Amino acid sequence: MTRIDATFAKLKAEGRRAFVSYIMAGDPDVETSLELMKGLPAAGVDIIELGLPFTDPMADGPTIQEAGQRALAGGMTLQKTLDMVAEFRKGDDTTPVVLMGYYNPIYSRGVDRFLADARTAGIDGLIIVDLPPEEDDELCIPAGRAGLNFIRLATPTTDDKRLPTVLQNTSGFVYYVSITGITGAAVAQAVDVAPEVARIQKAASLPVIVGFGIRTPETAREIAGVADGCVVGSAIVAEMAKGRPVDEVLAFVASLAEGAHSA
């Protein structure tokens, strides 16, 4: 059982929804992003999604693209991201960490080496947005063998014919993208999300977590109320971009977590 599996089992036993937060590794610098990461569990975050900076983040909106560019400009690399997770693990051995990004940096490192290093660092799962199910032999299946969850995205355009293919080797949870398009582009609506989540839950024996378009505690509560939890990314990254102190950003995260947990 991975930390992700254990977290969802605990939440289910407690009758609570999950709150997942996304931050970009190295934004605005390694020290600040590590400080933020270390503070997330106490702010109510159940699972941390850690963005791996990449030069061509095609699925991300301007907020996360700019965060990645700031991180890269500051010298952030895949190795430094793994080091950041290892440092986080010195003080937290229970909160799941999911690395979210694109395949190119992993391919460049070598899949076997990357998976071994990711396990050693303390990463629990992967979301690699540019690897479709047809490419599962590239990383998804090897990741499963290495003991990492491979989390797949489902979208409003994932119809009943496509859904079984998407779910085939998915583990940990299913990430449902609530809107079409890039991150931060619109506001999620529970009335639209609910039937889609129910459809995926019927087809999968996994929790369904909803992301994209969640920026307020109220929306977090509404979306978590029709799913197994929710993800907030762009709204948190935007607070960091404003140069706010980490404690203020964590207070904002805590308000979002409270919203999700009150569902």
What is the average pLDDT score of the chain? Answer: 95
Beta strand residue intervals within the chain, DSSP E: 18-24, 47-51, 97-101, 125-128, 149-150, 152-154, 174-177, 208-211, 229-232
- Which residue is catalytic, options 5, 27, 46, 49? 49
Residue 60 — pLDDT band, cuts 50, 70, 90?
A: confident
In a domain, 196, yes or no: yes
Rounded to whole angstroms, the Cα distance separating 176 from 193 reads 9
Rounded to whole angstroms, the Cα distance separating 258 from 19 reads 9
Our count of domains for the chain comes to 1
- Residue with structure tokens 């270390």? 38
Average pLDDT over residues 92-110: 97
CB burial of 116-143 (b: ≥16 within 10 Å; e: otherwise) equals ebbeebbbbbbbbbebeeeebebbbebb
Q: Beta strand 152-154 with 47-51: parallel, antiparallel or unpaired?
A: unpaired
Report residue 223 as tokens: 């979306």
Q: What is the pLDDT of residues 82-97, one digit of tens each?
A: 999 999 999 999 999 9
In a domain, 148, yes or no: yes
- CA-to-CA separations, 234 to 101, 186, 188, in angstroms, rounded: 14, 11, 13
In a domain, 156, yes or no: yes
pTM for the predicted model, two decimal places: 0.95
Rounded to whole angstroms, the Cα distance separating 179 from 170 reads 21
In a domain, 129, yes or no: yes
Backbone angles phi, psi at 16, to 5 degrees: -115, 155
Active site residue 60: yes
Domain span including residue 125: 3-257
Torsion, Cα of 128, 131, 137, 138 (10° steps): -70
Taking each helix axis from N to C end, the angle separating 78-89 and 30-39, rounded to the nearest 10 degrees, works out to 40
Beta strand residue intervals within 62-162, DSSP E: 97-101, 125-128, 149-150, 152-154
Q: What is the pLDDT of residues 112-121, one digit of tens each?
A: 999 999 999 9
pLDDT at residue 40 tops 70: yes
In a domain, 262, yes or no: no
Q: How does DSSP assign 75-88, residue by residue?
A: T--HHHHHHHHHHH
pLDDT at residue 51 tops 80: yes
In a domain, 85, yes or no: yes
Active site residue 31: no
pLDDT at residue 111 tops 70: yes
Residue 58 — pLDDT band, cuts 50, 70, 90?
A: confident
CATH of the domain at 219: 3.20.20.70
Residue 179 — pLDDT band, cuts 50, 70, 90?
A: confident
In a domain, 263, yes or no: no
The conformation of residue 243, written as its DSSP 8-state character, comes to: T
- Which residue is catalytic, options 5, 46, 60, 124? 60
Q: Which long-range contacts (CB under 8 A, 24 or more apart) does 166-169 make?
A: 166/133, 167/200, 167/203, 167/204, 167/206, 168/133, 168/136, 169/133, 169/136, 169/140, 169/141, 169/144
In a domain, 92, yes or no: yes
Please tell me whether the peptide bond between 142 and the residue prior to it is cis, using omega within 30 degrees of 0.
no
